[in-house]
Homo-oligomer: A and B are copies of this chain.
Amino acid sequence: MRNVAIAGVGLIGGSFALALRKAGFTGRITGIGSPQTIQRALELGVIEAAPDPAQALAEADTVYLAYPISRILGMLEGLGARIKPGALVTDAGSTKSAIMAKAASERLRFLGGHPMAGKELRGVGAADADLFRGRTYFLTPTQPEEEFVEWIRRIGGHPVLINAEEHDRLVAVTSHLPQMLSTALASMASELPVDRAVQGSGPGMLDMTRLAGSAWEIWADILATNAQPIDAAITAYIERLRDIQCRLKDTSLQAEFEKAGDVSRRLRHPAR
C-alpha cells in the first residue's frame, strides 16, 4: 500500500487518512470529493493532494470509499475501468450484503469494511486520527488482504472478519434496531404536551431518545439495503417486549431484569 485515494473526505474518510499518517504510513494520500470539502481537507492537512478524480483513481493502489451507502453503490458501477488493474477497493458503508453483491458483479478486488466508530459531529473538520482506536472494524473479505488488515491494527482498530450476511443480521440487532426503538419512543413522546414531556424526562429518557436525532439520509440508505434483517429484528423484539408486558407483576421478571443487567454491564466492560 503506497498510494491511497480516499473518496469522500468526511468524518470517516478524513479520520482514516489522519490515522494512517499517525501510524507511520509514508505513501501518498489523495482525496476525492466536493471542491469545498477538498479545499478544507487540504487546509487541515488531512490529505496531501487532490489531483482530478480520474487521475487519483488511476494512480491509487488502494481506493477507500467513505461515502453513504447509496453513493458507494453508484460509484462501484464501472469502477473497474477507472482504477489501476488489481488495485484494492474497500469501503466504510454500514451495511455489507448489497455492497458486496455489487462489487462482485463489477469483478473488483474488493474488501468490504465497516468501522464501528463515529461521532456526533460530521465532516472533515471533525476528523480524528484516533477515531478507530479500540473500536471494532468489521471486514468482509473475498480473499486474504493481510496488508490492509495490518493497517487497521496499526491505526488501533480491532479487525473482525465476518461474512456479509452475518454482519448485516448482527448490526440489524445491535445498531439498526436501537435506532428504530429510539425513533418510535421519541415519536410516541411527540403526542405528549411539550411541557409535560420535558418535565417528565430524566436522564434515562434522554439516553433512549438520543439516537432519534440521527440524520434521515443515512438511515434511508441503511433501511433500503438491510430491510429484511431489520424487519426480523423488530418482530423478535416485539415478541420479547410482549413477553415482559405479560409479566409486569410476576416475580419471574426479576430473572429477566438480572439477565438484561448482566448483558448491559458486559457490553460496557468487555473482556476483549
Contacts and interface: CB of A to CB of B under 8 A. Distances in A.
Interface of A: 116-118, 135-136, 138, 158, 160, 170-171, 173-175, 177-190, 192, 194, 196-214, 216, 219-220, 223-224, 227, 230-231, 234-238, 240-242, 244-245, 248-249, 253-254, 256-268, 270, 272
- How would you classify the secondary structure of chain A's contact residues: helix, strand, loop or mixed? helix
Given A197-B267, A227-B249, A238 B238 contact: yes
Given A175-B204, A181-B185, A184-B260, 11 more contacts: A136-B199, A173-B188, A174-B200, A186-B261, A189-B267, A207-B208, A209-B267, A213-B261, A216-B257, A227-B249, A238-B238
Contact of A212 (B171, B245, B263): B263
Given A181-B181, A184-B241, A213-B261, A206 B173 contact: no
B173 A208 contact: no
A139 to B, nearest CB: 11
Contacts of A263: 186-187, 189-190, 197, 209, 212
Contacts of A179: 204
Contacts of A202: 116-118, 135, 174-175
Contact of A197 (B174, B230, B245): B174
A214 B257 CA distance: 8
Contacts of A118: 202-203
